[in-house]
Amino acid sequence: METVELAFEEFGDPNNSPLIILHGFFASSRNWRQIAQRLSGRFHVYVPDMRNHGVSPHHPVMDYPSMAADLLRFIDRRDLKKTGLLGHSMGGKVSMWLALAAPDRVDKLIVADIAPISYKHSFDNTVLALKALPLAEISNRKQAETLLASRIPELSYRQFLLQNLILKDGKYCWRVDLDIFHRMAPNIAAFPNADHLAPFTGKALFIAGGDSDFVKPGDIDSLFPEAALSTIADAGHWLHVQQPDVFTALVESF
């Protein structure tokens, strides 16, 4: 399986226990800087950009086995015998797949608001809305946000997505390859068949947003029988942004 070398940000004392934070679809390491800095007093925190995200290399294949292979390469390159993993959404699925495929490399597993299942939602509207933006006519980010509003009404989600819009040589362009995202999005909503893998019996914590419906206990038990489930009230899918104090406290106590 072809892997890529992941770009990353790093926080904390290298003598502390390692913790790798994995972001979600359309996100990057920059979205986790605040949480990484909070955790850096106790951990040596790595926050990589997954393939096709941030400043990591692009690759036409994007699924959980390939992204987990990138992560294992990242772990091996840093001579980490075992590491803690904290993954949100897509990053949570990457973390879960690595824990199932290479359990001896995972110390503790924390999964934020996602389960090891295939979801029925589609990213088509999001990707097509971004592809439809007339980049040649855009002179500032506010204009892009206004043009996107009819297709993506939620302001915070628009602003999140537009972090991928960058100015290069005086012109706006996408940092991500939207054609790859469009082709590979079904893989992101899915979760690979794990029937050939043993359940992960290590320490695992699933953290769900109280206002989110992504995580149900019955979806976790078969593959992660020892996992605990904590729910954060007044938080949705972006629980680490909406309740950063509670989220960080749960991670540290676990």
What are 203-235's pLDDT values in tens digits?
999 999 999 999 998 999 999 999 999 999 999
Tell whether 87 and 180 lie within a shared domain.
Answer: no
The three-state (H, E, C) secondary structure of 3-52, written as one string: CCCCCEEEECCCCCEEEEEECCCCCCHHHHHHHHHHHCCCEEEEEECCCC
The residue written with tokens 């029925």 in the block is 120
Q: Is the pLDDT of residue 248 over 90?
A: yes
Catalytic residues: 89, 179, 237
Assign residue 47 the CATH number of its domain: 3.40.50.1820
Q: Using alpha carbons, list the distances in angstroms from residue 112 to 22, 55, 71, 91, 192.
A: 10, 23, 18, 9, 18
* Closest among 121, 131, 73, 95 to 19, alpha carbons compared: 95
Count other C-beta atoms under 10 Å from residue 62's C-beta: 22
* Cα(117)–Cα(64) distance, integer angstroms: 12
166 shares its domain with 79: no
Q: Note whether 134 and 245 are same-domain residues.
A: no
Q: Report the domain count for the chain.
A: 2
pTM of the model: 0.96
Same domain, 164 and 229: no
Q: CA-to-CA distance for 190 and 135, rounded, in angstroms? A: 31
Instruction: Report residue 124 as tokens.
Output: 């088509």
pLDDT at position 117: 97
Q: Which domain holds residue 139?
A: 124-184
Radius of gyration of the chain (CA): 18
Same-domain check for residues 151 and 201: no
Last residue of a domain, one of 134, 168, 184: 184
Q: What is the DSSP letter of 78?
A: T
**Residue 9 near residue 29 (C-beta atoms within 8 A):** yes
* Residue 144 forms part of a structural domain: yes
Question: pLDDT tens digits, residue range 33-54?
Answer: 999 999 999 999 999 999 999 9
Query: Is 113 found in the same domain as 42?
Result: yes
